[in-house]
Amino acid sequence: MYLKKNIATSESGFIFNPSTGDSYSANPVAAEIVQLLKQGTASSSVKEQILQKYEVDPFRLEQDWDDFMNQLKEANLLGD
Amino acid sequence: MEKPDNLLTIAVTGLNAIDSPGPGIAVIRGLREGLHRPVRIIGLSYETLEPGIYMHDVVDKTYQIPYPAAGSEALLRRLQYIHEKEQLQLIIPNFDAELYNFIRLGPALKNMGIATFLPSQEQFDARDKINLYRFGKKHNLLVPKDKIINSPAELNACEEAMGFPLVVKGKFYDAVVAYTLEQAQKAFYKLTAKWGFPVIVQEYINGTEINIAVLGDGKGNAVSIIPMRKLYITDKGKAWAGITLEDDALIKIAGDFVKATQWKGGCELEIMRTKKNELYIMEINPRFPAWIYLTAAAGQNQPAALAKMALGEEQPFYTAYEVGKIFIRYSWDHITDIKEFHQISGMGEL
């Protein structure tokens, strides 16, 4: 799964889906993840960067990651 | 004062910039910005309180014209009078209900030296709500099932065929989603009282509504296609804000429509995108929508392109437009004087 190519993002966490007209606001960590995904960074590498940068338990990160990916999928922002 | 040599005189209807607006003011805005030459706009109005009549920066002069029910002869006589005074070069009608007369008068207007750029009567009839399902089947376009009824007793058969909820639609305008037989019956009476017979009962399609403004050249080519999603909808179902979208499937369905029908002129496709990503054509409006200025703002000025084609000028096909362009409508209390009101209501021109 990857972030759809035409999704527009900003550093401030604004996400715009030009296919549907929907827009979303992401919190700073989510915005960082979305930016990295947008640049084509692999999921494993994004997770690694988050683990290095923030004090977070790897197990907790996995849980939150799945949750966030589900939200992105629900919002029609991910492609197969 | 002498008229400039390159002055274009264009008559436009739909000056009712109200809560359920006609497209006229937006069309004029597009013309004034996109034709890059002096334009004199002649408003053609039906009601004395259409705001555009009094907006003298937008409309140079307005003449009242007879209601469509008066017939094409009465309209022609009035247009002959207006033409004598104004030397019209082009008329852009913007109401569904008046198009029949304008299409019929096309050849007579042409003889008078007035251009139009309208669909043929066949094209106009084929996309009518009453014929939409057949139209979709013929051209392989996805259209909800429907039934045309003339009596509330026929609603039982509709329920058996399509189940509830159902969409009950008036002949020209208005639609009600009915969840029970009682609601459907109530809608039937309300719609027939307002719009006459028949009533269209349509399968309810759940999804996201998308509108597409389309300009066809009459030879099967789409000169411009701009998809828009409503961001804010009034209680009358009209867009109060909207945003341009990027989606190849939407461009394709509009292109397929133009190719199949050889559509000539502006139109609006009302699309419903289901959760399975199916694109249903819910309705085809045979004229520009009220939000048409968004096409100009996004880089494809459809009113100006229509005018150029109508006048026999070259108009390249648009390809690119700005995605994420937003319009937000607003209301404004325009101030005028009783003298102006008297002028238009008493003399029929202002």
Rounded mean pLDDT for each run of 10 residues along chain A, 80 residues in total: 87 92 94 92 94 94 95 88
User: Reduced to 3 states, what is the DSSP secondary structure of residue A43?
Assistant: helix
User: Reduced to 3 states, what is the DSSP secondary structure of residue A15?
Assistant: strand
Rounded average pLDDT over B148-155? 92
Rounded average pLDDT over B215-242? 94
pLDDT tens string A26-35: 999 999 999 9
> What CATH number should be reported for the domain holding residue B87?
3.40.50.20
* Residue B112 included in any domain: yes
> What CATH number should be reported for the domain holding residue B198?
3.30.1490.20
* Residue B164 included in any domain: yes
Query: Do residues B94 and B24 both lie within one domain?
Result: yes
Which chain A residue shows the shortest CA-CA distance from B273? A20
Rounded average pLDDT over B272-293? 95
In chain B, what residues touch A8 (CB-CB under 8 Å)?
Answer: 324
pLDDT tens string B57-81: 999 999 999 999 999 999 999 999 9
pLDDT of residue B1: 59
* Residue B212 included in any domain: no
End of a domain among B153, B181, B203?
A: B203
Distance CA B11, CA B62 (A): 9
* Alpha helix segments (H runs only) across chain B: 24-34, 72-86, 96-111, 121-126, 132-139, 155-162, 181-195, 248-261, 293-297, 302-310, 338-342
Query: Domain residues for B161?
Result: 145-203
Query: Do residues B25 and B91 both lie within one domain?
Result: yes
Chain B residues with CB under 8 Å of a chain A CB are 208, 228-229, 231, 242-243, 245-247, 323-324
Identify from B322, B323, B327 which residue to disrupt to test chain A contact, counting A C-beta atoms within 10 A and taking the largest count.
B323
* Residue B324 included in any domain: no
Number of structural domains found in chain B: 2
Rounded average pLDDT over B86-108? 96
Considering chain B, what is the average pLDDT of its residues?
Answer: 94
pLDDT tens string B168-185: 999 877 889 999 999 999
Farthest CA pair distance, chain A: 36
* Residue B162 included in any domain: yes
End of a domain among B203, B231, B246?
A: B203
ipTM of this predicted structure? 0.80
Query: With 90 as the cut, is the pLDDT of residue B130 above it?
Result: no
**Domain boundaries, given as residue ranges, for chain A:** 2-79
